[in-house]
Amino acid sequence: MLRKSHCKNKKIIIGVTGGIAAYKIPQLVRLLKKEGAEVQVVLTEAAKTFVTPETLAVLSEKPALSQFFKSNQGEWNNHVHLGLWADAIIIAPAGANTLAKMAHGLCDNLLMSVILSARCPLFVAPAMDLDMWLHPSTQSNVNTLQQRGVHIIEPTEGELASGLSGKGRMAEPEDLFQGLEQHFQPTENFFLNKRVLITAGGTQEAIDPVRFIGNHSTGKMGFAIAEQLVNLGATVELVYGSVTQTPPIGCHHHHTLSAIEMKTKCEELFPTCDVLIMAAAVADYHIKDVAQEKIKKSSDSLTLELVKNPDILKELSDHKKPNQITIGFALETNNEEFHALEKLQKKNLHCIVLNSLQNPQAGFAKDTNEVTVFCNDGSSFNIPAQEKSKVAESLLNNLSKWLTKQNPS
Ligand code: PMT
């Protein structure tokens, strides 16, 4: 049986700019149409020197657009509508001029206004002479676009229109099509039917019956992950300490307070779990002798002796079975990456999720977070600052992909 294309029924805008590689775009239109995609071509004036709008219109079964106005009666091609209509936009070929305009937000033609109005993923297939490609300004523009999340489909090496040979040829239409196919491929859901133990909130270490040592964790980050795990079809064992939120529905809830209580509960649950994610802020020390009665303020100073708590994550991770996954969080204030990588290694983890208190949009009690995940194969990925629910979604999608790659079934 033939596999259904992931591009089927997707709405795709192909933005064609001036360059010899434009002559290959009819082939890309054909491939996408054959696989059931809806294709709208938008081309620049310069592109028309290399490929005719008529050819593109016939193959896409839609007028190929280049002007803001359809006729001199004032009917216009609504660029905002086009930008919002598309599931993906691919600029191919993208010359140095268009890359520069995109990087700097210039808007002097229909295609640029469609790009600026778009909310969908953007793909760019650069094509130019090798020195133009290597020029620091082009490379800096490509970097800027990449940092904004634009997918760059790298040019390939070979003979160029100038007669020179090197990097600068637009990727072949089949490769552009594959890039879109991969993008629309549903992401792997590693967590479906998995049993996941997640911790959230802060621990409290009693001083006496009325006081404790605690921290600022509210449980927002851990709860957001637990909720998303439920959405992904996992069975979720949620162990939480001191929190300010109501735990999400759909999980098995286990409330604990001290680090020792949290450890006991985690030890009970972990043997039957596939994955452990420790988002809780666990106290490193507890009071050696907890007073049985309320301590009276009889003296001017009070000394409390603290004793080290067990490291829950390290102990569970050191004793995990070969198929169990352990993921920790690292909350840092300085030398963040160094400390996170040290914890990844010392605690024997698959991944560590770094958040830094240096970042005003990250950490304790905030509604937002920004994290960088470091994996034990040396790879890493960043999730930019956004609502904790969105961070949780993106974190689990990325972990899902990484874990599926590590543990192919
Ligand atoms: O709850 P919020 O207000 O939303 O805030 C979220 C958060 C900032 C608490 C969360 O994103 C976070 O970073 N949690 C981990 C905080 C922390 O304790 O980091 P750490 O670097 O001290 O510990 C490293 C890892 O070891 C953590 O996974 C921690 O759970 C674990 N640990 C630490 C000490 C200990 N005795 N046992 C542990 O298991």
Structure confidence by residue, pLDDT tens digits, 4-47: 788 999 999 999 999 999 999 999 999 999 999 999 999 999 99
- Residue whose token pair is 């005003």: 360
Phi, psi of 276 (to 5 degrees): -120, 130
Task: Give me ligand 1 centre to Cα 279, in Å.
Answer: 5
Task: Give me ligand 1 centre to Cα 331, in Å.
Answer: 6
CB atoms within 10 A of CB 352: 27
Pocket test for ligand 1, best of 313, 332, 343, 359 (most atoms within 8 A of CB): 313
Phi, psi of 81 (to 5 degrees): -60, -45
* pTM, rounded to two decimals: 0.66
Which residues are CB-contacts of 339 (< 8 A; sequence separation ≥ 6)?
330, 332
Q: Looking at ligand 1, which atom is closest to the CA of residue 316?
A: 39
Q: What percent of the chain has pLDDT over 70?
A: 98
Q: Does the annotation count 215 as an active-site position?
A: yes
What's the first-to-final CA gap in the chain, in angstroms?
Answer: 22
Three-state DSSP state, 318: helix
Task: Give me ligand 1 centre to Cα 165, in Å.
Answer: 53
In which band, very low, low, confident or very high, does the pLDDT at 72 lie, cut at 50, 70 and 90?
Answer: low
Pocket test for ligand 1, best of 217, 285, 312 (most atoms within 8 A of CB): 217
CB 212 within 8 A of CB 261: no
Structure confidence by residue, pLDDT tens digits, 341-367: 999 999 999 999 999 999 999 999 999
DSSP string, 250-284: TSEEEE--SHHHHHHHHHHHGGG-SEEEE-SB--S
In which band, very low, low, confident or very high, does the pLDDT at 71 lie, cut at 50, 70 and 90?
Answer: low
CB 240 within 8 A of CB 199: yes
Nearest CA among 228, 262, 263, 232 for reference residue 248: 228
The overall average pLDDT reported for the chain is 94
Joined tokens for residue 281: 């802020």
Joined tokens for residue 286: 């507890």
- Residue whose token pair is 């990250």: 362
Cis before residue 93, ω within 30 degrees of 0? Answer: yes
Whether residue 79 has pLDDT greater than 80: no
Structure confidence by residue, pLDDT tens digits, 362-381: 999 999 999 999 999 999 99
Structure confidence by residue, pLDDT tens digits, 169-215: 999 999 999 999 988 887 789 999 999 999 999 999 999 999 999 99
Identify the burial level of 296 via C-beta atoms within 10 angstroms of its C-beta, where 0-12 means exposed, 13-18 middle and 19 or more buried.
exposed
Q: Looking at ligand 1, which atom is closest to the CA of residue 284?
A: 36
> Residue range 130-152: average pLDDT?
94
For ligand 1, which residues put their CB under 6 angstroms from it? Answer: 201, 217-222, 259, 278-282, 284, 309, 311-313, 328-331, 343, 355, 363-365
Q: Looking at ligand 1, which atom is closest to the CA of residue 280?
A: 30
CB 255 within 8 A of CB 307: no
Structure confidence by residue, pLDDT tens digits, 89-109: 999 999 999 999 999 999 999
- Could you give the C-alpha distances from 273 to 120, 179, 221, 253, 366, in angstroms and in order? 37, 36, 20, 15, 29
Q: Which of 97, 189, 215, 359 is catalytic?
A: 215
Q: What does the pLDDT read at residue 384?
A: 87
Q: Looking at ligand 1, which atom is closest to the CA of residue 340?
A: 21
Task: Give me ligand 1 centre to Cα 283, in Å.
Answer: 9
Domains along the chain with CATH numbers? 11-184 (3.40.50.1950), 195-290+302-406 (3.40.50.10300)
What is the Cα gyration radius of the chain? 27
Q: What does the pLDDT read at residue 185?
A: 80
In which band, very low, low, confident or very high, does the pLDDT at 1 lie, cut at 50, 70 and 90?
Answer: very low
In which band, very low, low, confident or very high, does the pLDDT at 58 lie, cut at 50, 70 and 90?
Answer: very high
Whether residue 2 has pLDDT greater than 70: no
Q: Looking at ligand 1, which atom is closest to the CA of residue 328?
A: 28
3-state secondary structure 333-346: CCCHHHHHHHHHHH
Q: What does the pLDDT read at residue 140?
A: 97
Instruction: Give the lowest-confidence range in 145-149, 182-186, 222-226, 371-375.
Output: 182-186
Residue nearest to atom 27 of ligand 1 (CA): 329
Nearest CA among 187, 23, 176 for reference residue 89: 176
Task: Give me ligand 1 centre to Cα 365, in Å.
Answer: 13
Nearest CA among 123, 255, 142, 131 for reference residue 201: 255
Whether residue 305 has pLDDT greater than 50: yes
